[in-house]
Amino acid sequence: MDTCELKYGLNPHQEAAHLSIEAGNLPLTILNGRAGYINILDALLGWQLVRDLQSATSLVSAASFKHASPAGSAVALKLDSRERAMYFIDEGEALSEQATAFVRARGADRLSSFGDFIALSSMCDESTARLIAKEVSDGIIAPAYEPSALKILRRKKQGSYLIIQIDPSYEPPLMERRTLFGLTLTQNRNVITLDERILTPIVTANTSLPDTAKLDLLVALNTLKYTQSNSVCVAVRGQAIGVGAGQQSRIGCVRLACEKADLWHLRKSDLILSLPFKEGIGRTVRDNAIDQYLRGELTRGEELFTGSVQPLSGDERRSILAAIDEVSLASDAFFPFRDNIDRAYRSGVRYIAQSGGSVRDDEVIEACDEHNMVMICNKIRLFVH
């Protein structure tokens, strides 16, 4: 049995923590730092997500994980000028595909990504490492690293940044086991492939599903496969922009995911991009200030801005969000009531993928038809616990 000692378990007082494999060698190597229990959870879940996402879309992928759920995930679609501004990327800075995917995954929910664990589907190159070096992050997992990228990353956190390299050819046994309270649960791993073949059947009157929506739904569904349930994911242009995880009610998931998506869209607006921050205000402070401003909670604007900044009005907020359209949403299980659809529509959602199977499926489909939305009921549940 190959083992690796961990710093501690879920909490510092939980000692005797180890990572092990029953047969053969561990498929990962710690290149720098020392791993904790939660680090391993985030690393292994994140790796599976980006591996599956690249397989489903043929695009380089990245994910930002916190507490066993993704804060963001994305594929490598080129950044436009507005995205560069909101992610603090200079117009002249050249980005590799992996760096682009990382920036988009990290930018989905920057507050939640603070202190995250990063997963990359391909080699971590110098372009990506330079961007990671600027962020507050606990660690990274990738299948390979350029020597120059390793040199950069090893300087993070005063040399303690956790760097894990995983063997991309590793495939675990089909059967997985979990011990809880001295009892062992056994099941087959969730090995379902979430590619375009599962985007069927369409059950609404509107059956027009463009390729852009197909990509977004695949990003959302593959993200949900590794998100603590109940969960809902909102995606646009190959990027998860709102993840509602671990809620006890389905509408709670939708509200949380859509609220995060709304904040992402607001942050992309001219109003926010033109906020007159003083020179020297760091990106983390800017992230927090923008979030407080959008929520009407900012109280120390004079310390941050060069001039007077008026609060965001309800009319301004509604005007920005009213223009949002062509957004996709996926759910890890069925919608029990139409309130989920009505809330999603207010955030520009026009394409939905869910399992179906509720006694009120007809009501949910009717709600989609009223809003001229496209909905897939693929009979696939994606619970994670």
Active site positions, annotated: 66-67, 230, 385
Q: Which two tokens stand for residue 236?
A: 């646009």
CA angle, corner 38, sides to 36 and 44, nearest 5? Answer: 100
**DSSP state, residue 3:** E
Which of 213, 190, 228, 165 is CA-nearest to residue 350? 213
Buried residues in 8-17 as b, exposed as e (16+ CB within 10 A) = eeeeeeeeeb
Which residues of the chain form beta strands (DSSP E)? 2-5, 18-21, 28-32, 61-66, 69-75, 116-120, 137-142, 162-166, 175-180, 183-188, 231-236, 239-245, 327-331, 349-354, 374-377
CA angle, corner 375, sides to 364 and 230, nearest 5? Answer: 70
Question: In this structure, are residues 312 and 294 in contact, taking their beta carbons and an 8 Å threshold?
Answer: yes
> Helix H segments across 112-249?
126-132, 147-153, 211-224
Question: In this structure, are residues 301 and 273 in contact, taking their beta carbons and an 8 Å threshold?
Answer: no
Instruction: Check the CA dihedral 260-347-221-382 and report its sign.
Output: positive
What amino acid is encoded at 188 in this protein? N
Rounded Cα gap, residues 64 and 73, in angstroms: 6
List of residues 6+ apart from 42 with CB closer than 8 A: 65, 66, 67, 68, 116, 117, 139
Q: Give the distance, in angstroms, between the CA of residue 261 and the centroid of all CA atoms in the same chain.
A: 12
- Please give the C-alpha separations between residue 42 and each of 54, 278, 332, 333, in angstroms, as whole numbers: 18, 35, 19, 23
Buried residues in 248-274 as b, exposed as e (16+ CB within 10 A) = eebbebbbbbbbbbbbbbbbbbebbee
Instruction: Check the CA dihedral 53-55-37-153 and report its sign.
Output: negative
